[in-house]
Structure 1
C-alpha cells in the first residue's frame, strides 16, 4: 500500500512538473523576442546643455568598415519594432544605434504630455541625433561618411529637422534619411517657423495611405512647398495605417491622442500592422539605401 502511495505521489509530481513546464513555455512564446545588442550610455558634452541618454548598439554582419544607421523612436519610446528593423539593417551590412531619449529620464512616453514637455524634446532630440552620429563616426567598424538617420512618427519629424540642419561638430553629417509616418504637420507647426523645407541629403518619407494619426497630405504639402526633387520623396502604402511596420501592433482604435488639428487637437485614430506594407517598405528602404550611399556599400 505504501509503495502504491509513493508511486501515485511521484506520478502527481511528474504531472505537476509537466503542467508547469507547459505554462512556462506558453509564457515564453508570448514574450517579445529577446533583443540582442549592447546598451551603452551616450553623453552630450555641450557646456551649455550636458546630459546623458541610453542607446543600443547592434553590429553588422561581416567585415567592416560598415555603413551605419541611427534609429529614433516615436512618442511611445523604443519598442520591438525598432529592434526588428535594426536586425534587418544588420543583415544588410549596417551597424545600428537605437537611441532612447526617454528611459534614462524615467519617462515611458510623451504621447499625451502637455505642450511644454513636447517643446523640451523638440529642442533636445535633434541634439540626441547629433550625439549618436558623432559616436558612430568614432567607431573603427563604421564608415563615417555613410550614416543614415531613421525616425518613426515623432522621431520621423525630428529626422526631417535634423536632415534640414544636417550638421556635425567635427565631421560630415548624415548621408541620407528615412522618415516613417512623421508628423509633417507638427514639423511645420512647431519646428519650421514658416520656412520652406529643404533637406540637405536624400530623404524618403514612408507612410500608410490611410494613416489618420500623421496624415500623408501634410507631408505632400511639405514637399510640394519646397519644390521637391528626386532627393525628397513621399511613398505611401495602400490600406496601411499608422505603425504598419510593427509586427506586434494589433489593429485597434487609440482614444484621446494628439492629432494634427488646431481645432480638434485630441481624438481617436486607428493603428495596425500591415504585412504587405511592411514588406514593401523594406524593399523601398533597401532600394533607397543602395541608390544613395557610396558604391562600396551597395549590394
Structure 2
C-alpha cells in the first residue's frame, strides 16, 4: 500500500499539509543552517474513496528530512520571504550566496533548500531535466515543507511568500504553482513564483499565482521557444505569467560560476553579465509588485 501511494505521488504531484523544523530564531543570521521536512504526502479524497471501496486504508507518507540555509534582513520583521530551489547540479555557492545576499538586501527572508544531501544525491543533470518525474514531485513537496517551516518563524510574514527556482528547480517551481496541482491541497500557499531557465514544456502555463519566467534566447538546454509556445497555448485561467527572454543569453546566464562558458552534458552554459543584471532588476520589480496588494 505504501508503494501504491508513492506511485500516485509521482503521477499526480499531490502534497501533504505539514512539515516540522527547528532553528534558533533568536539568532537567525546570514546562512544559518536550518533543519525541516518536506511536506508529508496525504492521499486525496479520491484516493481514499477508491482505497475504501477496495477495503484498504491509505496512510500519509511522512516528509523527508531536509537541510536549508536561512538568511534574514536586520530587524524584527515580519518580513516577506523567498524559498529558493537549486538546479540539477545541487546547491551551487553562487545560488546560495548571491541570491541569499541579494534578496535579504531587498528586505526578504531567504531559505535556500538543499534537496539532495539528505537524499544522498550528488546531481541529476546526466538523467536529463525531465527524466525523473518522481524527483520533481519530491521537490514540489520540498518547497511546501520549506514554506510551512518559514511560516512558523516570528520574523516571517506568511502572507508574503514567493518561490524561486533555477533550471531543474525552475521546473519544480512551475510544477509547485501549477493551477489545480499540488497547490490546491495546501493550507499555506505561495503568493508569487520566479523560474529561471525552466523547461516550459513541462507545464501548460496555467498558474495559481503571479509568475515570472526568465530565459536566455540562445539557451539550448531549456529552449526559449518552449516558453514562447507555452505562453501562446495558455488557457488564460489562473494568474498572470510574465516571460522575459534575454538576447544573446544562454543557460545559467545568471550564474557567476560560468563566467567562462563551458559545455555541460551536451549543452552550453555561460554567464551573461548584462542579462544577469537586468534579470535581477526584473525580479526585484516583480516581487515588489506581487506583494504590494
Q: TM-score, normalised on structure 2?
A: 0.76
Given the alignment of the two structures, is residue 37 of structure 1 paired with residue 37 of structure 2, yes or no? no
Equivalent of residue 93 in structure 2, options 80, 98, 109 = 80
- Alpha-carbon distance, 1:294 to partner: 3.1
Q: Would you say 1:143 and 2:157 are equivalent positions?
A: yes
1:281 Cα shift? 0.7
In the alignment, is the contact (CA less than 8 A) between 1:146 and 1:294 conserved in 2? no
Q: Does 1:154 align with 2:159?
A: no
Asked if 1:217 corresponds to 2:230, the answer is no
| Counterpart contact for 2:129–2:168, Cα < 8 Å | no
Gaps in structure 2 of 5+ consecutive residues: 1-28, 41-59
Question: Whole-Å Cα distance in 1 between the matches of residues 210 and 276 of structure 2?
Answer: 21
Output the CA distance in 2 between the equivalents of 1:116 and 1:85.
25
* Larger of the two Rg values belongs to structure: 1
Q: Is the 8 A contact 1:81 1:245 kept in 2?
A: no
Cα contact 1:129–1:162 (8 A) shared by 2: yes
Deviation for aligned residue 1:82: 1.5
What residue is the counterpart of 1:200 in the other structure? 208
1:55-134 paired onto structure 2 within 5 Å? 55-83=68-96, 84-113=98-127, 118-134=132-148
For 2:184 and 2:94, the matched residues in 1 are separated by 28
Distance 2:129 2:273 in 1: 34
Shift of 1:251: 3.2
Residue 238, structure 1, aligned to residue 251, structure 2: no
1:30 counterpart residue number: none
For structure 1, list consecutive stretches of 5 or more residues without a partner in the other structure. Answer: 1-34, 189-195, 258-267
SS of the residue aligned with 2:257?
Answer: coil
1:274 & 1:169 partners in 2: Cα distance?
A: 37
Q: Is the 8 A contact 1:110 1:117 kept in 2?
A: no
With normalisation by structure 1, the TM-score equals: 0.75
Counterpart contact for 1:240–1:274, Cα < 8 Å: yes
Q: In angstroms, what is the RMSD of aligned CA positions? A: 2.2
> 1:163-201: CA deviations, max 9, x gaps?
113346433x0000100000112x14xxxxxxx431111
- For this pair of structures, how many residues does the alignment match? 241
SS at match of 2:279: helix
Which SS does the other structure have where 2:227 is aligned? helix
CA distance in 2, matches of 1:163, 1:115: 18
Secondary structure of residue in 2 paired with 1:112: helix
Name the structure, 1 or 2, with higher relative contact order (CA <8 Å, separation 6+).
Answer: 2
1:240, 1:75 → 2: CA distance?
19
